[in-house]
Amino acid sequence: MPWEVVIGLEVHVQLATQSKLFCACSTQFGAPPNSNVCAVCSGQPGVLPVLNEQAIVLALKLALATGGTIRRRSRFARKNYFYPDLPKGYQISQYDEPLAEHGAVEIWHEGQLRSVRLTRIHLEEDAGKNIHLATGAASLVDLNRAGVPLIEVVSEPDLRAPAEAAEYMRTLRGIVRALGICDGNLEQGSLRCDANISLRPWGQQALGTKVEIKNINSFRFVQKALEYEIERQSELLARGQAIQQETRQWSAEVGRTEAMRSKEEAHDYRYFPEPDLPPVEIDERLIESLRVALPELPLQRRQRLMEEGGLSDYDATELTRETELTDYYHLAVAAGGSPKRVANWMLTELLSRVDDARDVARAPVAPAGMAELLGLVESGKVSGKLAKDIWAKMWTSGGSALKIATDGDLFQQSDSAALEQAVRAVVEAHADRVAAYRAGKTKLMGWFVGQVMQATEGKANPKLVNTLLQQLLDG
Amino acid sequence: MEILELTATALAEQVRSKQLSAVEVARAYLARIAELDPILHAYITVDADGALEAARAIDARLARGEDVGALAGVPIALKDIFVTRGLRTTCGSRILADWVPPYEGMPSARLRAAGAVVLGKANMDEFAMGSSNENSAFGACRNPWDIERVPGGSSGGSAAAVAARLCLGALGTDTGGSIRQPAALCGAVGIKPTYGRVSRYGVIAFASSLDQVGPLARTTEDAAALLEVIAGHDPLDATSLPQPVGRYREACRRGVRGLRIGVPAEYFAAGLDPEIEGAVRAAIDELVGQGAELVEISLPHTKYAIATYYLLCTAEASSNLARYDGVRFGMRAARPQDLGDLYSRTRHDGFGPEVKRRIILGTFALSAGYYDAYYAKGQRVRTLIRQDFSQAFERCDAIVVPTSPITAFKLGERLDDPLQMYLADIYTISCNLAGLPGLSLPCGFSSQGLPIGLQVLGRPLGEEQVFAVAGAYEQAHDWHRRVPEVRR
Ligand SMILES: [Zn+2]
């Protein structure tokens, strides 16, 4: 029996504030263990939380960008549980009165625009990190992360496929980066997600038994974990077995999900309103000022690239994944590059040279440099092949395309008289192949072109070579 | 003994004008502590070196002509719930027996900045849970009027120290009456100000929405002087109030002419010691005699206050005490088998029975399936109690009631009956649930020679009216001048 897959994601987004949610400690990543820790975020007796208002502002931006309803008065609650990396024995989070509800994230997946509804966006503090020594001798706790502000973006179960879930997470990342509220560094844990997945017979309204997969920190793993779960669950269902409601975790090493805890041993978090923090009151004027200042979001940019630059779906989607890419594109086009050629060159030659698309902002070749090079190709002064060599030189040693081409004599030979001489020499040197060609082996044309190119060190204009060869051989 | 008889305001004046040195004062009090504290056990930690050093610093600053503040040289005790940097802070618990805090809390910092000299940390019920000071992990404090009796709780050490002249003023905390009840039982003045009036930063939390810091002193004016120093907005406490601090000392001399005094029938019900009722009614007559107008009021939800209080305070406490897990500070169970063992043995060994009882109650009240029946309902009743008061305060400016239904009881007398013990706070708890200011001051002595407390309640931020009523009564009597004769 084929099953319908129902997926909802809870994405934790680390907010790009300078200081933690309830104290003045730095949020800087990679600091020595327990160096960004004070009495407040280490939960010393007698301390009190004071809300970092910047975090509210950043969270509001996402709520507005996704069309959410903002609560004028929201509230923090305590989520009580014991864990060594949770200094106070409770996490301050929002529970029954979140900052924002509803709204949606539009995703572009497999040529279609889909709207994924959001249940809520709420603020909470991160926990620390436990480090278990390999020897088993001890476990250490690093509280640098404890108290770092997060927002949790909870989607409705609107996703229907693992790839769609991954695209949703990618899109969300694009949005939070465009808004400047999160650096989007998955490898540093700035974006993590919990996925809820259930299977049900097609046409059934009621949801099947849900399994939660905790703490996934890459797009690839979201997809893989969900694919694995679909297979595991459909096999169980095919055998007539029931799905157990439980929490699982993705193990990247073995490529499967593993049970963490079942419903029976699920936590009772004993939520209650945080008495140390007054309710959060949001001023209407703040909302309006943030609303008018919202930047263009990736999906809007994508639309504009398609309309203004005539780019394909694919090119426009890829170029708007990262703000840095879109910015580079716009600058290169503004410097005279043709949109399609710029897009193509960026997605191949530029992205193959950086580890991360975010690095293009610091690429050694500036957008104007790329535009100049592409201009030389466009005008026929430089061949596509030589352009790649010039690009490589620009990348490693700098300098303008024109100067590199001039210094290296890398211009395309388009002087027919000189070329004709080279073509003639090749034809005369291979009488046997000329005969074979004339006898009908026209595929040899490519071989002749290659010979001429070799003789001219790749500088011959291939179009011109083709014409000249045709004249000589067919004539 | 002359130094020991000065009020805080008078003593600070003498220190500032160099008639007395802060060191002299500190020495006099330290000597008294050395003599009597072995009997009373009002202190958990006496910081003689720190006190003398602070006193010397004040004298040095005075010698340089600097202003040293309103409480120059005033020797004070801090309930051991106040976090003091570098000075052991136990909160009356084994679990924090060796904890030396890395930071200083705000109330004590403000006192020190005003020139007060901290003599040490006063005894208290563990984590401020108790009405008799018998829940201290360091042994009970005794009532200076009769050492076979309790000083009240949980700020019993602070109240006993003030009453016995082991300090000139003290800070306590009041979650359900823990400043006012021991003040009444020891014959001191104690005020719990409006919730949020004093910063709770650096005050070890018991029940955050009820806890409030306040001073204990020998006179209302001294209490007012201490409160003027510690009150005020603190950016480190999000619940602290932004309104400017009132002129409390001045209010003490304002008189009660024209003030409407509310007297609720619900506070003069069965269980009230007739001697106490007599003293409180006489006090009300005295106020009327001075020109106050008597208004009969009703606080109909009073009977639910104790049940509501114990639901809410235990719920919050169960959460506030979760951090004592043996991981980062305080006691840690030796050689734990695993994480669960570390938690359970640390907490089993570290907490006393009353604390455990309340953690269990609170955990239950918050747990899934019971939240609505207990915690949520408690919050609704709390709102009703608050409304009772706001309606009453439309008709009066202050409310006058007994502080405690009984005078100091014998050590051990109520220890085996927690419910009976909880009733000791019956007249003080509503004020915490409503967040109001409440002051207790001596209004007589029982036939057994035990102090009786008069309680004055005010509107939110109505501390000035409270001081006006208390000050007017105090001027007509000299109960506060009596000194207990501590006998072994
Ligand atoms: Zn911190």
Give the residue from A398, A406, A408, A411 showing the smallest Cα distance to A368.
A398
Exposed/middle/buried for residue A144 (C-beta within 10 Å: 0-12, 13-18, 19+): buried
What is the CA(A381)–ligand 1 centre distance, in A? Answer: 61
- Cα Rg, chain A, nearest whole Å: 30
CB B216: neighbour CB atoms within 10 A? 34
Paired tokens of B409:
């009881």
Q: What is the pLDDT of residue A360?
A: 82
pLDDT along chain A (475 residues), means of 10: 89 97 95 96 97 97 96 96 94 96 93 93 96 86 97 96 94 94 92 94 89 92 93 90 90 88 78 97 96 91 87 88 89 87 88 83 85 81 79 83 74 72 81 82 83 79 80 75
Distance (Å, rounded) from C-alpha B102 to C-alpha B82? Answer: 13
Distance (Å, rounded) from C-alpha B87 to C-alpha B120? Answer: 9
Determine, for residues B328 and A90 on separate chains, whether the beta-carbon distance falls below 8 Å. Answer: no
> Which band of pLDDT confidence, cut at 50, 70 and 90, is reported for residue B1?
very low
pLDDT digits (tens, 9 = 90+) for B356-382: 999 999 999 999 899 999 999 999 999
Using CA coordinates, name the residue in chain B closest to A136: B338
In Å, how far from its chain's centre is CA A220?
A: 11
Q: Maximum CA pair distance of chain B? A: 70
Determine, for residues A43 and B328 on separate chains, whether the beta-carbon distance falls below 8 Å. Answer: yes
Distance (Å, rounded) from C-alpha A319 to C-alpha A357? Answer: 9
Distance (Å, rounded) from C-alpha A139 to C-alpha A47? Answer: 25
Paired tokens of B358:
């309340």
Determine, for residues A46 and B315 on separate chains, whether the beta-carbon distance falls below 8 Å. Answer: no
Give the residue from B151, B124, B120, B144 showing the smallest Cα distance to B135.
B124
Mutate: best of A47, A96, A129, partner B, most B CBs <10 A: A47
Distance (Å, rounded) from C-alpha A430 to C-alpha A412? Answer: 25
A46 touches chain B (CB under 8 A): yes
Distance (Å, rounded) from C-alpha B473 to C-alpha A449? Answer: 115
Q: Catalytic one among B21, B93, B136, B154?
A: B154
CB A30: neighbour CB atoms within 10 A? 6
Paired tokens of B8:
């805080």
A450 touches chain B (CB under 8 A): no
Is B318 tagged catalytic?
no
CA distances (Å), A181 to each of A15, A57, A153, in order? 6, 9, 13
Q: Is the pLDDT of residue B267 over 50?
A: yes
Determine, for residues A272 and B315 on separate chains, whether the beta-carbon distance falls below 8 Å. Answer: yes
A80 touches chain B (CB under 8 A): yes
Using CA coordinates, name the residue in chain A closest to B336: A138
Residues with CB under 5 A from ligand 1 (ion): A 23, 25, 38, 40-41
Distance (Å, rounded) from C-alpha B488 to C-alpha B469? Answer: 37
pLDDT digits (tens, 9 = 90+) for B173-231: 999 999 999 999 999 999 999 999 999 999 999 999 999 999 999 999 999 999 999 99
In Å, how far from its chain's centre is CA B314?
A: 19
Cβ(B171)–Cβ(B212) below 8 Å:
no
In Å, how far from its chain's centre is CA A175?
A: 10
Nearest-CA distance from B140 to chain A in Å?
23
What is the CA(A41)–ligand 1 centre distance, in A? Answer: 4
- pTM for the model: 0.90
What is the CA(A24)–ligand 1 centre distance, in A? Answer: 6
A270 touches chain B (CB under 8 A): yes
CA distances (Å), A421 to each of A415, A430, B278, in order? 10, 15, 129
Q: What is the pLDDT of residue A385?
A: 77
Determine, for residues A50 and B371 on separate chains, whether the beta-carbon distance falls below 8 Å. Answer: no
A33 touches chain B (CB under 8 A): no
Q: Is the dihedral of CA A127, A133, A134, A138 positive or negative?
A: negative
**Phi-psi category of A348—alpha, beta or left, where left has phi over 0 and alpha has psi -120 to 50?**
alpha
Return the HEC string of A11-50: EEEECCCCECCCCCCECCCCCCCCCCCCCCCCCCCCCCCC
Paired tokens of A436:
């074979």
Whether the complex's predicted ipTM is more than 0.90 is answered with: yes
Q: Where are the alpha helices (DSSP H) in B351-407?
A: 353-366, 377-392
Q: For residue A84, list chain B residues with Cβ-Cβ distance below 8 A.
A: 325, 327, 339
> Which band of pLDDT confidence, cut at 50, 70 and 90, is reported for residue B341?
very high
Q: Catalytic one among B178, B240, B318, B404?
A: B178
Q: Is the pLDDT of residue B269 over 90?
A: no
Q: Give the length of chain A.
A: 475
Cross-chain CB nearest to B208 (options A44, A82, A275): A275
Is B440 tagged catalytic?
no
Q: What is the pLDDT of residue A1?
A: 58
Dihedral of CA atoms A163, A168, A169, A170 in degrees, nearest 10, equals 90
Q: What is the pLDDT of residue A111?
A: 82
